[in-house]
Amino acid sequence: MPFSDQVRARLDADAAQIIGKYPGSRSALLPLLHLVQAEEGYVSADGIEYCAGQLGLTETEVTGVVSFYTMYKHRPVGRYHVGVCTNAVCAVLGGDQILAGLREHLGVADNETTPDGQVSLEHLECNAACDYAPVVMVNWEFFDNMTPASARQLVDDLRAGNPVTPTRGPSRLCTWREASRILAGFNDGQATEGPSAGPASLVGLKLAQERGWTAPEPEHVSGDADQLAGAGRTVGSGPTGSGVSHADSANPRPGPAVGKE
């Protein structure tokens, strides 16, 4: 069903704010897709049409992006989207058992939602939290050191509406649509809440402090500063040294989110 005039007016105001952040409007596509996902819970055909119209793109171009990134969903997901990692460390420590147990417990397969619309399940790749494996994510918030039993309790609490607090991050677990709006660039004020790194992530730092380890001093390089700043200090191939400069490799800057103007 097409967006109503009321919904479109609300989206237009938010979309203008998003697009205004980028020197090239095409780079606003990723957050704009999160915005329409926040509206419907997934990226519908109407959402694709809306984004294309806002950015002067074809619907085929937008669809290509939606189909590439797994964070954009093609059909409605649950109020709480549960992802289970089974990559390397998580798998060794029980991730496969957690996923199999949740499939049976919830009665759903991957990318399916419980009949009450509360919980959907996804088989995820690495969550970049191997020091807390096995890890489950709910609306992209971490639940660390899980077991089949604790995972079942988690989804039961979500379905019952009981308070659930992520292991790291904010004290209040947002809904799937709220998470999508945050990813679109509209913060909920909880970014600084809760621990961002726990003991397992800080073991290396603790050992370094206890043993007096320090980082090595950068290698001294003599020579003319202008010459060092030229092509001779550039990483890459070809006569102009195409590629990433030495300075840029130390201080990388993100490029446009999508495409290149």
**121 and 62: one domain?**
no
pLDDT digits (tens, 9 = 90+) for 62-82: 999 999 999 999 999 999 999
Q: In angstroms, rounded to a whole number, what is the distance separating the alpha carbons of residues 54 and 160?
A: 39
Q: Could you tell me which of 64, 29, 33 has the C-alpha nearest to residue 46?
A: 33
**91 and 163: one domain?**
yes
Domain end position, chosen among 68, 90, 123: 68
Q: What is the pTM of this model?
A: 0.76
CATH number at residue 100: 3.40.30.10
Residue 175: half-sphere exposure toward Cβ, Cα within 13 Å: 15
Residue pair 73/79 in contact by the 8 Å Cβ criterion? no
Tokens 């980082």 locate to: 215
Most confident stretch, 151-155, 163-167, 199-203:
151-155
Give the E-state strand segments of 77-160 in sequence order.
80-85, 112-113, 119-124, 136-138, 141-143
Residue 159 falls within a domain, yes or no?
yes
Query: Tokens standing for 36?
Result: 């329409």
Q: State the Cα angle at 212 between 209 and 215, rounded to 5°.
A: 90
**146 and 110: one domain?**
yes
Residue pair 50/11 in contact by the 8 Å Cβ criterion? yes
The torsion defined by the Cα of 14, 17, 22 and 24, in degrees rounded to 10, comes to 70
Residue 238 falls within a domain, yes or no?
no
Domain region containing 94:
80-175
User: Region 24-33: what's the mean pLDDT?
Assistant: 96
pLDDT digits (tens, 9 = 90+) for 78-135: 999 999 999 999 999 999 999 999 999 999 999 999 999 999 999 998 988 999 999 9
Least confident of 2-6, 15-19, 34-38, 218-222: 218-222
**168 and 102: one domain?**
yes
Q: How many CB atoms lie within 10 A of CB 102?
A: 22
Residue 42 falls within a domain, yes or no?
yes
Domain end position, chosen among 175, 190, 224: 175
Residue 250 falls within a domain, yes or no?
no
Alpha carbon 126 to its chain's center: 12
DSSP for residue 260: -
Please tell me the total count of domains within the chain. 2
**122 and 62: one domain?**
no
Judged against a pLDDT cut of 90, whether residue 200 lies above it is answered with no
